[in-house]
Amino acid sequence: MPQFLDSSQPGFEAAFCGLLGMKREQAEDVDAVVAAIIADVRARGDAAVIEMTARFDRLDLTPDRLAFSPAEIAAEGARVSSEDRAALELAAERIRAYHERQKPEDASWTDAVGATLGWRWTPVSAAGLYVPGGTASYPSSVLMNAIPAKVAGVERLVIACPTPGGVVNPLVLLAAQLAGVDVVYRIGGAQAIAALAYGTETVQAVDKITGPGNAFVAAAKRRVFGRVGIDMIAGPSEVLVIATGDQDPDWVALDLLSQAEHDASAQAIVITPDAAFGRAVAAAVEARLETLPRRAIAAASWAQNGAVIVVRDLDEAAALSNRVAPEHLEILTANPEALAAKCTHAGAIFLGAFTPEAIGDYVGGPNHVLPTARSARFSSGLNVLDFMKRTTIARMTPEALKAIGPAAERLAASEGLQAHGLSVRARLDRLNG
């Protein structure tokens, strides 16, 4: 059974803090192993990647087979049913349209002293997207990572997607086609992250790596950060539902389970001002678990990490939600927009009873790669800007340098940086000569 908390009861604050402090990530100590893998890939390139692919994925490769050929991708894509293809195409269209609106604009202006200032946005040259393989191989993740990169203008876009035992998900390769991916490598794990970051004889290094993965992938992304950019370190999935007693408890139960079925470490929380409704949701979860194919995973998540929280009112619900800073926040109330305005920390917000979080996973349009583990307090979901960088621009006229140069010279002297000040003074002397 999940935790049942009531904000009006003694001990609530301590229990709620305990919920916030739960350690749900896997406690595997993998950093030393990952460090060795990265060092091996840097030293031996293709040979190291091929050996580890054989060991971990039971797949024998040669350098010329590290990537899928265009013919292989086309053949796998042809296996996809027309119905699945249509759904994937709709998702791609909506994701692309949403992210097109995120493209930033360059700016330039002349200020009061005559200095021209501004910035310009340019894409990274190459990005590598990690797509988990095996049972966690999701074509939706391909679209969510690749489409923003293409919208940003990334010139070279590659995917690393392991195929354990040689098993391929045709939808993943079709999604790569639809998103405009250039190369799909059939490699995974920390060795794939190392190959993308440092390059091998066959794998060309990239500038940024995005996408979720297991503990080894996460540790590798941490280690290569600085050599390349990364999006975030993704933790277990989470959803928080704020719902009033007039909502359908079965719908709420299904929304909770839609995240719980991801992983036993996932977290599903419902906050409600109606205690009877909270109990009804818990009962509905138990009933739905009886028929859910991924029952074992979802049941473990619900029992270990789930919670039903009863609050005094919706304002308190919003305040508690902000402390949780959930990856996904559903607001099922009569006026969800009003409550959403008070919810300042969330990766994504879903408004109203007819907006289940699962829509956001696939076809809503906004990105489903979102901050977890309370990091929505300070970060955002994956977007076009993650594949771009802003370069500032400045141009001084002689008059502008006369106006502000002496202050720069003074500050340089205060910091003991003589050459800084002299670089300004030399120009001022020329102008005043």
Pair type for strands 107-110 and 116-123: antiparallel
CA–CA gap between residue 72 and residue 272 (Å, rounded): 51
Residues near 71 by beta carbon (within 8 Å), at least 6 away in sequence: none
Catalytic residue among 99, 262, 328, 368: 328
Active site residue 327: yes
* Contacts by residues 280-286 (CB-CB < 8 Å, ≥ 24 positions apart): 280/249, 281/243, 281/249, 281/252, 281/253, 281/256, 281/308, 282/1, 282/2, 282/4, 282/308, 283/249, 284/249, 284/250, 284/252, 284/253, 285/2, 285/253, 285/256, 285/257
Catalytic residue among 76, 238, 261, 327: 327
CA–CA gap between residue 40 and residue 379 (Å, rounded): 33
User: CA triplet 249, 250, 252: central angle to 5 degrees?
Assistant: 65
Closest Cα to residue 76, out of 193, 151, 161, 146? 161
Length of the chain: 433
Residues noted as catalytic = 327-328
